[in-house]
Amino acid sequence: MEPDLLLIHPPSIYDFRKRTIFPGPVAYTVSESTDQFLIPPVGMLSIAEYLDRHGYRASVDNLGERMARDPTFDPRRFIEGTRARVYGVGLHWCVHSQGAVQVAKLCKELHPDSLVVMGGLTATMFHEEIPTRYGFVDAVLRGEAEDAFLELMRNLDAKKGPEGTPNATYRDSGGKVRVEPLLKPRETLDEYEFTRLDLLEPKGSVFTSYMPPHWSLPVCRGCLYNCASCGGSAYSYMTHLGREKPAFRSPRKLADDIAKLSEQGVRLAFLFQDPRMGGRKYTDELFRTLKGEAPLLDGMTLELFAPASNEYLREISNLGVPVTLTMSPESGVEGARMSHGRLYSNDALLKTIEACREYPLHLMVFFMLGLADETPETMAETWKLWERISSMDDHGGSPGRPGSVSYAFGPMILLDPGSLAFDFPEKYGYRLLARNLTEYVEAMELPSWHQWISYETRNLDRSSMARLMIDSIAHSVDTRERHGVYSRVRAAKERLRQVTSSRWAMGQVDTAMKAQSEPEREAALAAIRRALERSDA
C-alpha cells in the first residue's frame, strides 16, 4: 500500500557510484556504515511509527543502502515508481548535505504534486536557506518532528499546505519564506517508539547483513554538555531546537525496547547518550530494570561522557550481558580537551580504564583529529596516550573482550552546523570554510576527503590538518603493530593502503584539479583511482 509519508535516508553523496571519489580516512573511521553513512537516524523510524499509530501510512526507505548493495539499482526509477503525498528527505548529519539535496530535487522532479520536506539537525540549522535556495524543497520541519509531521498530515487532510504547521519553514503563495513557531519539545521520550523495524526498507540493511544485527536506542534527547563542535550539545538543543533540558526514556520503556528488538532478531543494542545525565535515581532504576531484559542480547554498548566511578561500573558489569563502553576524550592533551568541552584529566581517564579492566568491561576510547587547539606537538602527546592505552590491554587488542581496552580515532572533517564552534568560530578557535548548506554541498561535490574539510583552526590550515591526520594514522599503525593488534603483514598492508596511498592520492588529486577541462580532470581522477585499486589488489 502506498504511504502517505515516505521518509528517505540518502547516501552521503548521491552519485557516489558514478563519480571518482577518494574518501580516505573517512572510510576507515565509519567502516560499519561505509563512507556513504548508510545507517539512518533512529528519529526517522520514530516519526514513521508515530504517524502509523495515528492512522497514516508511513515508512522509511534507506535509499543509500539500496544503492550500495546493488550496483544495478536505479534510484531514479525507484523513486519514480513510488507514490506518496509527502516525501521527507533526511538531512540530519551534515555529511549527507549533497545527497539529501540531490534526492529532494529528484523527488520533486518526478512527483511535482507531492510535498517535499526536509528535516533533521542540519536541515534545522539551515531552515531558511533551504526553501530560499532550493526551490524544489517545499518546507523544512525543524527540530523534533514527530508531532510536527502529524500536524502537517492533518493540515494536508484539511486541504492546506504547510501553513500553520508548527516547526515548519516554507515559502508562502507569494514566495516569501515563513517560519512557524516551534512546538514545545516533550519532556519524556516514552510517547515515541524506536523499534518498528518492519517500517524500514530494504529488509536486511547494512547494519544487519554485514555484522551481527544491531540497532540503536536513545536514552534521552538533548544533552547537559557543551562540546564545542557538537551540533547536539546543550547549547545547540536550546538555541536551535527549543529544548531546555534532556528528555529521557523511562527504564521500563528501554527494557521493553530490548525485548522487542530481540523478538526481531537483533542481537546487539547501542544505548546512546550517557544515562548518568538522568541522575543517580534514574541510573539505579535503569540497571535494575535492564537486568531482566539485557540477557536477551549478545551484547550492549553504553556511553561515558565523563570518567566513571567504580560503583557505577560495577553495576554495569552485573547486567548479565557483555557490555562495551565508549568514552571520547577527543584529545590526549588536557588543555585541548577542556577547551573543547571535555572537562576531565588524563589521570581520571586512566583510572576509568583500570576500573573497566577490573570488573571486567570492554572500553573503547575515541579521539577526534582536528580540534581547535591541536598542533603537531599536541598530537604527539595524544600519540603517547594511545601508546599508554595499548600497553594497558592484556588481550592483544582483541576488541570486545571483557577487560580489554582499545582506542580509535577519526578526522572531524565537517564542523557541525549549529554547534558553538560553528556559531562562534573565532571564540572557539575555528575559521569556517563552509558557512551555509550551499557551501557544504559544493565541498562534497569535490572528489577527495581533504577537500571536504569545512574549517581551519587557529593553528592549522586545511592542508596542514590533512597531513597531520595521515601522520596520526601512520603512528597508529606502528603502535598497533608493536602491541600485537596488527601482525607485521597486516601493518604493512595498512601502511600502504591508509598512509602511503592516501598521501600520494592527495597530491595527485590536487594536480588533477588544475586540468583545463572537465574531461581532462575526470580522466586524471579515474587514473588515480585505478592506480589505487591496483595497489590494493
CATH code of the domain in which 40 resides: 3.40.50.2300
pLDDT band at 208 (very low <50, low <70, confident <90, very high): very low
pLDDT at 26 over 70: yes
What pTM was estimated for this model as a whole? 0.94
pLDDT at 363 over 90: yes
pLDDT at 29 over 70: no
In a domain, 189, yes or no: no
pLDDT at 537 over 70: no
pLDDT band at 285 (very low <50, low <70, confident <90, very high): very high
Range of the domain at 68: 5-179
- pLDDT tens-digit series, residues 437-477: 999 999 999 999 999 999 999 999 999 999 999 999 999 99
DSSP string, 341-391: T----HHHHHHHHHHHHHTT-EEEEEEEE--TT--HHHHHHHHHHHHHHHH
Mean per-residue pLDDT over the chain, rounded: 93
pLDDT at 33 over 80: no
Contacts of 88 (CB under 8 A, 6+ apart): 5, 6, 7, 8, 44, 47, 117, 118, 119, 141, 149
Q: What is the pLDDT of residue 25?
A: 84
In a domain, 220, yes or no: no
pLDDT at 496 over 50: yes
**Residues 264 and 148 placed together within one structural domain of the fold:** no
- pLDDT tens-digit series, residues 397-432: 455 577 789 999 999 999 999 999 999 999 999 999
Q: What is the pLDDT of residue 30?
A: 63
In a domain, 224, yes or no: no
**Residues 317 and 447 placed together within one structural domain of the fold:** yes
**Choice between 262 and 536, residue whose per-residue pLDDT is larger:** 262
**Choice between 38 and 222, residue whose per-residue pLDDT is larger:** 222
pLDDT band at 366 (very low <50, low <70, confident <90, very high): very high
Q: What is the pLDDT of residue 403?
A: 74
Contacts of 110 (CB under 8 A, 6+ apart): 76, 79, 80
In a domain, 217, yes or no: no
**Residues 530 and 388 placed together within one structural domain of the fold:** no
* Distance from C-alpha of 481 to C-alpha of 236, rounded to nearest angstrom: 40
CATH number of residue 412's parent domain: 3.80.30.20
Total structural domains in the chain?
3
pLDDT band at 38 (very low <50, low <70, confident <90, very high): confident
- pLDDT tens-digit series, residues 61-104: 999 999 998 999 999 999 999 999 999 999 999 999 999 999 99
Residue 192 contacts residue 46 (beta carbons within 8 Å)? yes
pLDDT at 230 over 50: yes
Domain end among 163, 179, 195? 179
Question: Region 246-275: what's the mean pLDDT?
Answer: 95
Question: Region 500-528: what's the mean pLDDT?
Answer: 94
pLDDT at 134 over 70: yes
**Residues 266 and 402 placed together within one structural domain of the fold:** yes
Question: Region 334-350: what's the mean pLDDT?
Answer: 96
